[in-house]
Structure 1
Amino acid sequence: MGLGMVVQAVGLFAATNVDGLLVLSLFFARGASRRGAVARTVIGQYLGFAAILSVSLLAASGSGVLPGPVRPLLGLIPLALGLRAAWQVVRRRRRAGAETSDTGVHRGPGAFEVAGVTLANGGDNVSAYVPVLAAAGTGGRMAYAAVFLVLVAVLCAVGRLLAVRPVVARTVSRWGHVLLPLVLVTVGLSLLARVGLPS
Structure 2
Amino acid sequence: MELGIIGQAVGLFAVTNIDDILILSLFFAQGAGHSGATRRVVAGQYLGFAAILAVAVAAAFGATFLPGSAVPYLGLLPLALGLKAAWRAWRSHRNGGVEEESGTGGGGPGPWEVAAVTFANGGDNIGVYVPVLATAGVGAMSVYAVVFLILVGVWCLAGMFFATRPVIAKALSGWGHILLPLVLIAIGLLILVEGGAFGL
Interval of TM-score (by shorter of Structure 1 and Structure 2):
over 0.9
Residue 139 (str. 1) matches residue 136 (str. 2) = no
SS at match of 1:124: helix
Task: Using the TM superposition, give the Cα deviation of residue 189 of structure 1 relative to its aligned residue in structure 2, in angstroms.
Answer: 0.5
Unpaired stretches in structure 2, ≥5 consecutive residues: none
Deviations 1:152-179 (A, max 9, x none): 0001001110110111111111111111
Task: Find the partner of 1:100 among 97, 103, 128.
Answer: 97
For 2:92 and 2:198, how far apart are their aligned partners in 1? 36
Superposition pairs of residues 24-103 of structure 1, within 5 angstroms: 24-94=24-94, 96=95, 99-100=96-97
Residue 154 (str. 1) matches residue 162 (str. 2) = no
Q: Give 1:129's aligned residue.
A: 129
Deviations 1:43-69 (A, max 9, x none): 000000000000000000111231012
SS at match of 2:25: helix
For 2:137 and 2:31, how far apart are their aligned partners in 1? 40
1:16–1:125 Cα contact (<8 Å) kept: yes
- Aligned positions, number: 196
Task: Using the TM superposition, give the Cα deviation of residue 121 of structure 1 relative to its aligned residue in structure 2, in angstroms.
Answer: 0.4
For 1:44 and 1:164, how far apart are their aligned partners in 2? 19
1:103–1:177 Cα contact (<8 Å) kept: no
Provide closer, same or farther for how the CA distance between residues 47 and 21 of structure 1 changes in structure 2, counting only shifts above 3 A: same
Q: Give the TM-score normalised by the residue count of structure 2.
A: 0.93
Q: Give 1:165's aligned residue.
A: 165
Unpaired stretches in structure 1, ≥5 consecutive residues: none
For 1:148 and 1:88, how far apart are their aligned partners in 2? 33
Q: Give 1:180's aligned residue.
A: 180
For 2:147 and 2:132, how far apart are their aligned partners in 1? 14
Q: Give the TM-score normalised by the residue count of structure 1.
A: 0.94
1:40–1:111 Cα contact (<8 Å) kept: yes
Query: RMSD of aligned C-alpha atoms?
Result: 1.5
Q: Give 1:19's aligned residue.
A: 19
For 2:72 and 2:168, how far apart are their aligned partners in 1? 31
Q: Give 1:109's aligned residue.
A: 109
For 1:104 and 1:147, how far apart are their aligned partners in 2? 35
Instruction: Give the 4+ runs in structure 1 shifted more than 3 A.
Output: 101-106
Deviations 1:90-116 (A, max 9, x none): 22222x2xx337578561110000000
